[in-house]
Structure 1
């Protein structure tokens, strides 16, 4: 697959050949769904917690005698049936993460890249470098028509470009090692630098 390479100023900088084994696959929704679900499950905090009857703040004294009142038998006010009592079988802190084979994770990233290439939302950038000025980069991004874009650079992101992009709404920057299915799919435009494209091909081949 051959794509034109552009610059941040909107000019052209030649073309690049992208491997079909990474960017030319037929995207499968089931693979993408499995990987995104795995990612979001790992991101859940899992800190949800309720108090049981042993943790609520109330007297543990028996509220009235066992027999002779005409009412039901009760122990203390911490029982789940009482207001402000403990919760029975409520949520406790736990990890939501589950296993997913490494082959499926790699395949999911290939399918995400191929999906962006197939729908024409993949852009190859010569290089992502900047002076660190947000206003300057914002003008360039606006002229290129990027509203919700993810920029994936090489092994390291240029510090000036990352600082300038930090305050631009809808623009995210990641190194190639941080490329993932969820971030790629949730943005309208995927921007790869030449170094980023080479790093991803080397990682996924």
Structure 2
């Protein structure tokens, strides 16, 4: 699959050949659903578990007489109503990381990239080199490219000036190739890759 390469100034910069094994997969909604669900589950935090009655070490000696004291009957200091007693129905530690096979995660990434390519929402840029790290300049560049909601993925490292210039632009996110993931790709209207990002992603999927 060949696709046109542009510069940040929206000028033509040749073509690039995309691997069908990475950008030509058939849409698999079941795979995308599994990977996105795994990502969202993995990012969930769990509550710190509280000590319940069986976890508290308190005396089991009866506090007083069964009758005649004028107060309620108690048989254990670990009861929730006492200071230092166990928590009644307290938060418990839960595991929100279901785990997912690496092969499925890799297939999900390739499928997400293929979906963007098939929908015509994939754009290849020569590189993200800027002359100045100015938000105003970035807004002008985005207007020239026609991108209002996009995920920009660079190679091993993101160009620092580009990252700084785009930091305050809404609906624009920048990631290195290693940080590319299914959720962020599907969560943006346009996917913008550099030549270096294409090489890194193909190596990541095929490796």
**Interval containing the TM-score (normalised by the shorter chain):** 0.7 to 0.9
Aligned equivalent of 1:165: 166
Tell me, which stretches of 5 or more residues in structure 1 are unaligned?
Answer: 56-60
Distance 1:140 1:62 in 2: 77
Residue 45 (1) aligns with residue 45 (2): yes
Aligned equivalent of 1:146: 147
Distance 2:160 2:135 in 1: 12
Kindly provide the CA deviation profile for residues 1-38 of structure 1, in whole angstroms up to 9, marking residues without a partner as x. Answer: 11111111121111111011110111111111111111
Aligned equivalent of 1:58: none
Distance 1:176 1:38 in 2: 20
How far residue 145 of structure 1 moved from its aligned partner, in angstroms, is: 2.1
Aligned equivalent of 1:110: 110
Aligned equivalent of 2:99: 99
How far residue 150 of structure 1 moved from its aligned partner, in angstroms, is: 0.5
TM-score, normalisation: structure 2 = 0.82
Distance 1:166 1:50 in 2: 40
Which is worse superposed, 136-145 or 176-185?
Answer: 136-145
Distance 1:90 1:107 in 2: 40
Distance 1:200 1:137 in 2: 25
Distance 1:67 1:182 in 2: 64
Query: How do residues 1-205 of structure 1 correspond to structure 2 at under 5 angstroms?
Result: 1-47=1-47, 49=49, 52=52, 66=66, 88-130=88-130, 131-205=132-206
Distance 1:148 1:64 in 2: 70
What's the Cα RMSD here?
A: 3.0
How far residue 76 of structure 1 moved from its aligned partner, in angstroms, is: 7.5
TM-score, normalisation: structure 1 = 0.83
Tell me, which stretches of 5 or more residues in structure 2 are unaligned?
Answer: 56-60
SS at match of 1:5: strand
Distance 1:146 1:62 in 2: 73
How far residue 149 of structure 1 moved from its aligned partner, in angstroms, is: 0.6
SS at match of 1:203: helix
SS at match of 1:150: strand
